[in-house]
Amino acid sequence: MRLPSLPTALGGGTGGRAGATAFMMTTSAPSEVTTKTTFSAAEWHRRRRREILAAHPEVRALARESDVWVASLGALLLPCYAWVLGHASEMSPAELCLHAFGIGSLRATWAIYCGHAISHGRWRSLAGQFGSARFNGLLAACNLGHAFQVVPSYWLLHHSHHTRLGSLPLIEARERAKRGRQTDGDLGIATRLFSPPARKYRLVRDEEGAVLPRQSEAFHQAMSVVVHAIAPIAFAGYVGAALRTDRTADPALRRSLALQASAQLLGYCGVAALSAYTSSWAPLGLYLGSSLAWLSPLNPNWIWTCPHVCQLPAVAKAGASGAGLGARGTAQPQPTVSFYTPRNAAGAALDVYLGFENYHVEHHDFPEMPMYLLPRLRELAPEHYEPLRALPVLEKETWTELMTGDFFYACQDQTLGNGDAASHGKSGVLSERHSADWTNAL
């Protein structure tokens, strides 16, 4: 069985060195990319960013606000999580389940928020330079008790996920990772067998245009159970992969990969030792069960884990800046979607539980902006967000579509030259109920 492979591309490092502002202002396509493209998901977001800043200069101030204070929440969340693990042997199954969806999920959401902030350079004053002891210490500390929700190594190349979004075939993305080059992190971090960031999509496999079908959710959840069951082997595999990283890769990256993988393995060993000390399966069961539940449809966070389902904007008309129109007013596909909650107190609480990751179009437009300010961005520039296709979190149709829909990842078929009319109807750039709208818009 092939286990998830370890990322070996320096994406987060670039963001850590350059800082958040430089990241977004220097995202032109590198000259080494040779694939001829007709659509660019990354450019789609860059163009939207330019238009929003031109229409709403006040967004600049919003993007400059600091969210370093979020790191201090770890002083509350981590001890609370440790206390729950320490007393897990005394809890009933119902209490363990409650904590898995409570502190277990919140701790994971916090770690993911921190990973985003570190990888995009928002916390450079706190984390220091990429690969430094301070950087590795902070990233490892944020992921204490973190299993497979998002492996810490992912954040070492997350920056390039934004700059290379949907521009690489699957095989090339993973080969770049192995050679320590910039890649699309959502494709480069894992094998097809178990890849949480890529499981809901059809994927362009190679330059010849071969397409891998979407992995069924039932199969993915079954594989998730298997991977969690053999977690120590998987974590040891991460360490081994880090030690085998291409010697030509950046030394800071190789060191960071090894340190993060080792910290993750040590975290598992610590919880396993606690279970052995208390002669109870409960601590280890809670640690792995909260990760397993977080990655499943039982947890609301499942909904945003694959946000690059290629969609046609709900409105595509001349004059609607955010409606997904090209430079000449032609309809373009929408490579990212947001998952909105109701605009009330309950919706705001759900946003916090989701770590504001559900505002994913907004995040790709302004990755340097604190995540909790993304709802405010949507309010400041409604004409750029309301026309887009969004998937409401609390609607049954959203969950059904994401569970069974057939989507290309970030409109890869358009970017890599497979986006002819036949492929739209046959290979699933949109789910069946939207294919007619796409044809009409063209």
AA letter at 386: E
Q: Report residue 417's pLDDT band, with 50, 70 and 90 as the boundaries.
A: low
Q: What value does the mean pLDDT take over residues 364-376?
A: 96
Q: Report residue 418's pLDDT band, with 50, 70 and 90 as the boundaries.
A: low
Contacts of 63 (CB under 8 A, 6+ apart): 366, 368, 369
HSE-CB for 400 with a 13 A CA cutoff: 5
pLDDT digits (tens, 9 = 90+) for 221-244: 999 999 999 999 988 888 887 777
Return the higher-pLDDT residue of 254 and 126: 126
Query: Among 267-276, 380-389, 429-438, which is the least confidently predicted range?
Result: 429-438
Q: Report residue 188's pLDDT band, with 50, 70 and 90 as the boundaries.
A: confident
Q: CA-CA distance, 406 to 423, in Å (whole number)?
A: 12
pLDDT value at 29 more than 70: no
Contact 294, 303 (CB under 8 A): no
Structure tokens at 44: 């789609």
Contacts of 324 (CB under 8 A, 6+ apart): 44, 312, 313, 316, 331, 332, 333, 334, 387, 388
Per-residue DSSP letters for 306-347?
S--B-B--S---TT-TTS-B-TTS-B--B-----PPPSSHHH
pLDDT digits (tens, 9 = 90+) for 58-90: 999 999 999 999 999 999 999 999 999 999 999
Q: What value does the mean pLDDT take over residues 235-264?
A: 81
Mean pLDDT, the chain, integer: 81
Per-residue DSSP letters for 345-400?
HHHHHHHHHTTTTT-HHHHHH-TTS-GGGHHHHHHH-HHHHTTS----TT-HHHHH
Task: Could you list the beta-strand ranges (E) of 91-134.
Answer: none
pLDDT value at 12 more than 50: no
AA letter at 393: V
What pLDDT is attached to residue 329?
43
Among 1-10, 112-121, 323-332, which range has the highest average pLDDT? 112-121
What pLDDT is attached to residue 20?
36
Contacts of 125 (CB under 8 A, 6+ apart): 68
Q: Identify which of 113, 109, 154 has the alpha carbon closest to the alpha carbon of residue 4.
A: 154
pLDDT digits (tens, 9 = 90+) for 305-315: 889 998 755 54
Q: CA-CA distance, 315 to 324, in Å (whole number)?
A: 8
What pLDDT is attached to residue 193?
67
What is the three-class DSSP state of 407? strand
Q: Identify which of 293, 265, 272, 235 has the alpha carbon closest to the alpha carbon of residue 88.
A: 272
Q: What value does the mean pLDDT take over residues 109-127?
A: 93
Find the DSSP H helices in 149-230: 158-163, 170-178, 185-188, 217-229
